[in-house]
Amino acid sequence: MSHTHVLHRSLRQTPPVAVRGQGVWVYDSTGRAYLDGSGGAAVSCLGHNHPDIQAAMHAQIDALSYAHTSFFTTEVAERLADRLVADAPAGISHAYFVSGGSEAVEAALKMARQYFVEIGQPERRHIVARRQSYHGNTLGALAVGGNAWRRAQFAPLLIEVEHVSPCYAYRDQRDGESAEQYGERLAQELEQTFERLGPGTVMAFVAEPVVGATAGAVTAVPGYFRRMREVCDRHGVLLIADEVMCGMGRTGTLYAIEQEGVTPDLITIAKGLGGGYQPIGAVMAQRRIVEAMQQGSGFFQHGHTYLGHAVACAASLAVQDVIRRDGLLARVREQGAGLRERLERALGGHPQVGDIRGRGLFMGIELVQDRATRQTFDPALSLHARVKREAMARGLMVYPMGGTIDGRQGDHVLLAPPLHHHGRRTGPIDRTPGRRHRRRHRADARLSAA
The reply on whether position 139 binds ligand PMP by CB under 6 A is no
Question: What are the percentages of helix, strand and coil residues in the chain, rounded to 5?
Answer: 40, 20, 45
φ, ψ of residue 331 in degrees (nearest 5): -65, -40
The reply on whether position 274 binds ligand PMP by CB under 6 A is no
CB of 246 to ligand PMP, least distance (A): 7
CB of 327 to ligand PMP, least distance (A): 26
Among 41, 143, 392, 401, binds ligand PMP (CB under 6 A): 41
The CA angle 132-135-137, to the nearest 5 degrees, is 120
The CA angle 417-220-163, to the nearest 5 degrees, is 105
CB of 330 to ligand PMP, least distance (A): 24
The reply on whether position 134 binds ligand PMP by CB under 6 A is yes
Write the interaction track for ligand PMP spanning residues 164-193; mark x where CB under 6 A is met and - where it is not: ------------------------------
The pairing of beta strand 202-207 with beta strand 238-242: parallel
Q: Which of 188, 251, 213 is nearest to 419 (CA)?
A: 251
Which C-beta is closer to ligand PMP: that of 41 or that of 328?
41
Q: Could you tell me which residues come within 8 angstroms of residue 345 by beta carbon, excluding any fewer than 6 positions away?
A: none
φ, ψ of residue 294 in degrees (nearest 5): -65, -45
Among 21, 23, 39, 101, binds ligand PMP (CB under 6 A): 101
Which C-beta is closer to ligand PMP: that of 27 or that of 97?
97
Which C-beta is closer to ligand PMP: that of 249 or that of 395?
249
Which of the ranges 29-37, 94-102, 337-345, 432-440 carries the binding residues for ligand PMP, by CB under 6 A? 94-102
- 430, with CB counted inside 10 A (0-12, 13-18, 19+), is middle
The reply on whether position 22 binds ligand PMP by CB under 6 A is no
Which of the ranges 11-19, 80-88, 134-142, 191-199 carries the binding residues for ligand PMP, by CB under 6 A? 134-142
Number of residues that bind ligand PMP (CB under 6 A): 16
| C-alpha neighbours within 13 Å on the C-beta side of residue 427 | 21
Which of the ranges 66-74, 147-155, 207-215, 291-299 carries the binding residues for ligand PMP, by CB under 6 A? 207-215
List, in sequence order, the alpha helices (H) in 267-371.
287-295, 310-325, 328-347
The reply on whether position 146 binds ligand PMP by CB under 6 A is no
Q: Measured between alpha carbons, how far is 34 from 21 in angstroms, rounded to an integer?
A: 9
Whether 427 and 33 have beta carbons less than 8 Å apart is answered as yes
Which of the ranges 28-36, 96-104, 120-128, 323-331 carries the binding residues for ligand PMP, by CB under 6 A? 96-104
Please give the single-letter amino acid code of residue 426. T
Among 212, 249, 360, 418, binds ligand PMP (CB under 6 A): 212
The reply on whether position 135 binds ligand PMP by CB under 6 A is yes
Among 23, 37, 100, 403, binds ligand PMP (CB under 6 A): 100
Which C-beta is closer to ligand PMP: that of 190 or that of 282?
282
Q: Measured between alpha carbons, how far is 382 from 402 in angstroms, rounded to an integer?
A: 7
CB of 274 to ligand PMP, least distance (A): 10
Among 37, 39, 89, 136, binds ligand PMP (CB under 6 A): 136
Q: Cα 82 to the chain's mean position, in Å?
A: 23
The reply on whether position 403 binds ligand PMP by CB under 6 A is no
Among 56, 80, 92, 105, binds ligand PMP (CB under 6 A): 105
Among 56, 112, 128, 213, binds ligand PMP (CB under 6 A): 213
List, in sequence order, the alpha helices (H) in 174-274.
179-197, 224-234
The reply on whether position 244 binds ligand PMP by CB under 6 A is yes
Q: Measured between alpha carbons, how far is 406 from 93 in angstroms, rounded to an integer?
A: 38
The reply on whether position 404 binds ligand PMP by CB under 6 A is no
Which of the ranges 28-36, 97-105, 383-391, 417-425 carries the binding residues for ligand PMP, by CB under 6 A? 97-105
Element (H, E) at 102: helix 101-118
Residue nearest to ligand PMP according to CB distances in the complex: 101
Q: Which of 216, 211, 217 is nearest to 241 (CA)?
A: 211
Q: Which of 253, 229, 227 is nearest to 241 (CA)?
A: 229
Whether 107 and 185 have beta carbons less than 8 Å apart is answered as no
The reply on whether position 106 binds ligand PMP by CB under 6 A is no
Element (H, E) at 238: strand 238-242
CB of 277 to ligand PMP, least distance (A): 14
The residues that touch ligand PMP, with contacts defined as CB under 6 A, are 41, 100-102, 105, 134-136, 208, 212-213, 242, 244-245, 270, 450
